[in-house]
Chains A and B, each alone.
Chain A
Amino acid sequence: MIVQFRNTLRNPRQRTQLESAASGVLILGGLAARYLFGATLAHNGLMAAAALIAGADIAMRAWNSLRNRHISIELLVTIATVGALAIGEFWEAAAVTFLFVFGAYLEARTLSRTRKVLGELLDLAPVTALVLRDGQQVEVAPHEVAVGEIVLIKPGARVPVDGEVVAGASAVDESSITGEPIPEEKFAGLPVFAGTVNLDGMLQARATGVGADTTLARIIARVEEAQEEKAPTQRFIERFARWYTPAIILLSAAVYAITRDIELALTLLVIACPGALVISTPVSIIAGIGQAARRGILIKGGEYLENAARISALALDKTGTITYGKPRLTEIFVLQPSRIGLPEEVNSSVSFNSTRWTVEQAEILYWAGIAESVSEHPLARAIYNEARTLTALPTPDTFETFTGKGIQARFMGHEISVGTEKWLKEQSVAIEPGVESALLTLREEGKTATLVSLDSMLMGILGISDPIRETSAETIKRLAHSGIREVVMLTGDDEKTAWAIARQAGIKNVKANLLPEDKLKIIRELQSKGHTVAMVGDGINDTPALAAADIGIAMGAAGAGLAIETADVALMSDDLLKVPEAIRLSKATLRNIRQNVAIALITVGALLSGVLLGEVHMAGGMLVHQLSVLIVIFNGMRLLREGSGA
């Protein structure tokens, strides 16, 4: 019991809690003694006891600092308290010490909550890893796993390292990394990240990154650096505080010299401490950057946050940003009026399972899929992947690929050709005049047209597009709402394709046929027009433009370690809607900083003039001062609320 009590006293937080409670009770007792029973002597005794209990700790800390040649706020409070007790102001002494200790306790508790996002990230760090060594499962610390080793991840377990799935399938909750609430389906070939949670299946993954070389470790390092990085406003306030504190000391010395009122001079010293002002900016920055990190948005630091809030023009790369960057089969034109059918030998055993395509379209796709099953070309993959959803595909008996033109394959005595219009003409496949209009339609929609023939008869046209993200149009709309006046799409593609995509996204300004250095030039042009320019790209191909922009935003950074470290704003997921969200959060944070600075300045100004006019005394002044600090902290914490629009 005594040991336990001593331990409680040794822990600063528990000690201040205890002291606040004890001195609070004594103050209440003192007030009761005076106003209920008129016992002035008891009142003074209880108040003095309250001041001593709360003040002893303050005095001790003041002494510790003084020994290290540091003049602390505790020293000023101690002098003020001793002074108040000496002149018989017991109530003042009790109130000031109580408010100081209790206020500091409340501030520590609330401020630690604004720091909790970092704590959440630290808690994600996996504790153990299950490794396969010589066919045995061995449990080791995650940093002891060697790159290339196979780790086993059980259902419910945290992924211990960054790796690539080699066996098994499972849903993995990646919200801690990407901010996306919906679990990702993982199977062989896909990456997994340390700190994410395996939900339902058993996974085996080959370690690709361990310890400090994991996405989670990079995020933690990034968030920590970002929160420490001083925003311009914070640097300004610190410069301000550097001359403010000596100025206050001089002012109170002058006040004492003129009025010979030691109480007034001490009150001035204690009250004018710029507590709310110096934490006004850090509190908002910690909360703003923390909340963004929680939503999969890594902002490099306070300066970038203030810049992001001022963005007026935004340039987006087309491929992989507005579009998915993965070509997909979207259209099948049927050119034969009658059914072409299937090879006789398989006709009875194949049944198509498609709600997307008609039977005629499915048959064209089936034939094309057989030929493309042997090609690695991205367009061929797009056709094959779609055909595979119909039914199992056989492999062709023989095939020949023509680079940049197409593929020709034989299957059960039939000849299948899939390729460009020009190439099929060369194969003397008849292209009727009516076909031209279908080709034009596809191209005007920004799609690649691929023709399919069977035994030298044209059967149909496949339209392949790199589809626009479902969220692109909504993103552009939200950007306009958040005050971005100019949105430009940049692409190396031709005008026709580019405009087709831009129209779907609602983008009015397109720069096509660009080389990487042209993108840079366009960013510079926008800047010379007075814009604060943001560039959104995939972080790999757009590096010069991203670097030239005032804010470089990299998408899909979870899989690209370098992007996390270099981008001004790194979006962990591939969700384009995170761009307006990042801008909104930045604006909210900047607004929050301004509110806090205003609250702090008004409070200090009001208190100073109140004290000098003799309207504010030490206890009341201390109360207002402590309240202003708490208000500033609570205001900053609003940024941490889910879906914060603060």
Chain B
Amino acid sequence: MTRFVRSYSWELLLVVLIVVAGIWSSNLSPYFLDPVNLLTSAQFFVIFSLMAFGLFPVVVHGEIDISLASTLAVGSVMFGQLAVAGVPLIVALPIVLLATGILGAINGVLVAVAGLPSLAVTLGTLGAYRGLAYILAGDTGITGIPAEYRTLGSTWVGIVPLAVLLVLVVAAAFWVLMATTPFGRYSYALGNNSAASTMAGAPVARTRIAAYTLAGVMSGLAGLVWVSQYQSARGDNADGTILFVLTAVVLGGVSIKGGSGRAVGVLLAIILLGTIQTGMKLANVPGTSQTLVIGALLIGSIGIPSALQLLRRRFGVRRPAS
């Protein structure tokens, strides 16, 4: 039991924070704890969740991908155009996911094969893919999405929206992927020490490219959710959301330096951010002021433990040995 507590201390802290945020929110509004309200609010965070899970293995590698929101825009615009052209979803889905996967793979090749810094590469492709999305969408964007493409955003299984179920499935899939498969093991290994992984014969480049490709595919999937929820697609879709997504991943206990982090942490971080945002909406806090709280949470989650460590190192010596 203590071992469980020790190794999952971060996740347990997130659970405690979720409970605190939940109590605070239900004090603000009696309707907050209504399951239908909760699940309806949860829908809003589906797009962020899918991107966050896509980003998660990349961050475990010690890399970053800030181009994901632009990849999402390309995906959503492609879905929109295929939908308007009358292509059935079952055909469009593999086409778009392949395309966004290729966009991700381009990042991966530039980082893993050419050895370029991931932040600079994805800063470049952030602009390039956004430009691509605008070019594909044209000035006006795409509206009049047919019903088939709206299913994901408008179907409910009992009281649970289908899109929320999708997130749970994705979370489970990423848990399995990172905890049990060779890809996951290599990811943690090369996140901890990529030089040692290379010398040990781990397929470093291939694993990196796979992670970036997967991130692209997840952004494409998030693009489908976008189209299904907003029933339109434009070049500027999801612009600026990467900050929220990265916050979720880091808050979930995934070290930005690589090598650690779990899927369940990412899921809990999203639930926490979602609870806080929903609560602040109930308290009529304007959207832009909410970013203050989220930023403070991000810094606090990493800064407080290291501040404590610093204080302990400075004053701990004087403590008598027990």
A-B complex is real? no
Which B residues fall within an 8 A CB radius of A?
A: none
Which A residues fall within an 8 A CB radius of B?
A: none
